[in-house]
Amino acid sequence: MTDQSIYDILRQGLWTAVLMSAPLLAVALVTGVVIGLFQALTSIQENTLTFVPKVGAMLVVFWASMSFMTATLVAFFQDRIIPMVAGG
């Protein structure tokens, strides 16, 4: 195994992590902006108002995207990691 193959697998692993976390991060960003705008417009400064809806939205998206995340991770391992361990 060469250094280049290690860096290539590391790069692909990081890209897989980005793909898997993108739905959760996007929902957290959008929810945070919407709640921040709501707080700015109404002058309500309550910490739980930002935390609870963001966690709820992230749980819903996590539940909805679990199959996508699982399929992405399984494909990465079947296409890259297992052939590398097997020597292919």
pTM of the model: 0.79
pLDDT in tens, 13-38: 999 999 999 999 999 999 999 999 99
Contacts of 38 (CB under 8 A, 6+ apart): 44, 49
pLDDT band for position 72 (50/70/90)? very high
> Would you say residue 88 has pLDDT above 70?
no
Which residues lie closer than 8 Å to 12 by C-beta, 6 or more apart? 76, 80
Q: Is it the case that residue 69 has pLDDT exceeding 70?
A: yes
